[in-house]
A and B are shown apart, each in its own frame.
Chain A
Amino acid sequence: MHLKPVPDPAPPLDDGRKASVAELERYATVLRINCVRMLAVAKSGHLDSSLSAADVVTALYYRVLRHDPRNPSWPERDRFVLCKGHAAPIQYAALAEHGYFPHQDLMGLRKIGSHLQGHPDMTRTPGVEVSTGSLGQGLSMCVGICLALRLDELDDNVQVFGVLSDGDIQEGETWEGVAAAAHFEVPNLTAVIDYNHLQTDGTTEEVMDTGDVRAKFEAFGWDAIEIDGHDMGAIVEALERSRTLRRPAAIVCQTKKGRGVSFMEGRFGFHGKPPSQEQAEQALEELETRYREQTDALGSDTPPPDSGPEIPAPADSTD
């Protein structure tokens, strides 16, 4: 196996420390709380798809990605591509928490005049590398980014992370990208598959079984592993390992849709449906309780996140 040095992620925290697994778990709760509040106000969007990807997105933005919110176009930044663009709220929450744009912008999600579109839009939102939302395109876009980075001789240090959904795996174009990544031997691509087994019309097994996704990537010549997509320690280890490889790497994350909210977790029927006011309140109660528990467990010497669950409750969110 070819290994390359792992560059320090920059900036992980203001004081230069790497976030611990326990801290990351609490950040994930913060992002989930953001998502629930955004969707309750927007009354539109994909909450359960955002929650299933929350742990992966947290690990990336708070620990693994080398990025600089003050300079979103830094040429040597790692690239994050949300191939499953319908999970935009989880990326928006992470971007806002890192200061890419003001926190209150989150409450404009999906509204006229807001830069936070229903799906990520590179022409409007700082920190969005390419526009996504049409499933299947994201991974090929990632391959294109990798090829450009190679020509700029940046592919040793700059990693491209794409987060894919079950729907992406069903799209034929994804496999064009998988083949191209192997053919062009891009050394700096990590595909994270948020395998939550639920889609709009039912379970993936019912609608169009995607089967052993890990084996499929491996058959195309990728490094491919499968992990519990809610085990923060395993996520961090897999992501950091992937950037040491000199070949494209797939991390198949077994996840649960709606993770973190008991009445949504792994349940069919929430895809693309915003929470009612009652559901949002119940979800927030659960998540805020978890946030307090996680904060207590971390002890008093750990600085709290900048904002935490402090987004003002929406005044107009009656459903």
Chain B
Amino acid sequence: MPEAKTEPIATRQAYGDALVELGERDENVVALDADLAVSTQSIKFGKKFPERFFNCGAAEAGMMSMACGLAATGKVPYASTFAVFATGRSYDQIRLGIAHNQLKVRIGASHGGVSLGEDGASHQMIEDIALMRVLPHMRVVVPADYNQAYRAVIESYERFEGPIYMRFGRPSTPIVYEEIPETLGSGTDVLREGKDISIIATGHMVWRALDAAETLAREDGVEAEVLNVVTVKPLDTDAVIESLAKTGVGVTAEEHRVAGGLADAVREAAAEQHPVPIFALGLGDEFGVSGTAEACMEHFNLTASGIIEQAREALLKKPIVSHPPIHGGHG
């Protein structure tokens, strides 16, 4: 493993860096891109291993089917493009060729969410987690920072024979993990312990969740527990339910539609196993807009203060007793 990064840097940079390490490790690792190799950073692999790098041009559907053919013939393909094209444009190709066949294909989707910025709604992918989460056999991974993203890519080669969708971001974001962490084990890390409320976040919202927890402690005297869900599917329901059982109320935070995203994953688990109020921060029934990355995040309230607002609302709905006593007994 390389040295952990300490300064803000984009998760997509980790994709390119880790791909090079994988390329050195195993000549069966191949990479494909669809004319966005500089943006996705797969270009780093392409420069080092040109014979194993296939730029498919602006032809994402064909790229995914080629990845299927490569994997069916013993290679480990990493196929990258923007999240919007990696999922929406080529859904049917991923569905039959990759997910159905349970092939070891890794989809490296960069520029997920509204922090893609200026290109606007046509390019800001806010449904990819939902699309990939409903696909049978597909694992969905959304790293929180560079260090976790690096390890996620390495582990995507080392573990799991089935397909994996990995979402990376465009802008530089602060470092959450001081070391390069073990990542795809349970897929959920408790980054901060607390007893009052669970803030369950993924991707670019994780560092904001930690900021929000600091403020809640300082201003409200609320001890928030912060969970980073790097593997949105399959969700580590034990970790999520354990936290919700302790705190009795939750907030989810994601740079994605609430429908079908992390919010729904958490609510599905909680509804069955431990129903408590869970407020969701994310995009509603709306598309993205043009602006700088940070302006777009602020436009949709995808900020620490957005999380704090949700947390304060949620705390008002928190049941007085999170485990109601069983009535009718006389001890």
Contacts and interface: CB of A to CB of B under 8 A. Distances in A.
B72 A147 contact: no
B101 A180 contact: no
A152 interface: yes
A134 B101 CA distance: 13
A152 B62 CA distance: 22
B69 A180 contact: no
Contact of B62 (A75, A148, A151, A173): A173
B101 A140 contact: no
Contacts of B68: 130, 137, 141, 144
A123 B101 contact: yes
Contacts, number: 112
B74 interface: yes
Interface string A103-138: 000000000000000000111000001111110111
A134 B61 CA distance: 12
B96 interface: yes
A95 interface: no
A145 interface: yes
Contacts of B71: 144
A151 B69 contact: no
B69 A148 contact: yes
Nearest to A160: B69
B295 interface: no
Interface size class of B (residues with CB under 8 A): 20 to 34
A234 interface: no
A143 interface: yes
Interface residues of A, number: 35
Contacts of A147: 30, 54, 66, 69-70
B65 interface: yes
Interface string A137-178: 111111111111101100000000000000000001100110
B57 A179 contact: yes
Nearest to B66: A144
A79 B97 CA distance: 16
A303 to B, nearest CB: 35
Nearest to A183: B57
Top 7 A-B residue pairs of the complex, sorted by shortest distance between their CB atoms: A144-B69, A176-B62, A140-B65, A148-B73, A144-B66, A176-B59, A141-B69
Interface of A: 75, 79, 121-123, 129-134, 136-149, 151-152, 172-173, 176-177, 179-180, 183-184
25 contacts: A122-B72, A123-B102, A129-B72, A130-B97, A134-B95, A137-B61, A137-B92, A140-B64, A141-B69, A144-B65, A144-B70, A144-B71, A144-B73, A145-B70, A145-B72, A146-B69, A147-B69, A151-B28, A151-B52, A173-B65, A177-B62, A177-B66, A179-B59, A180-B66, A183-B57
Interface of B: 27-28, 30, 51-52, 54, 56-57, 59, 61-75, 77, 92-93, 95-97, 100-102
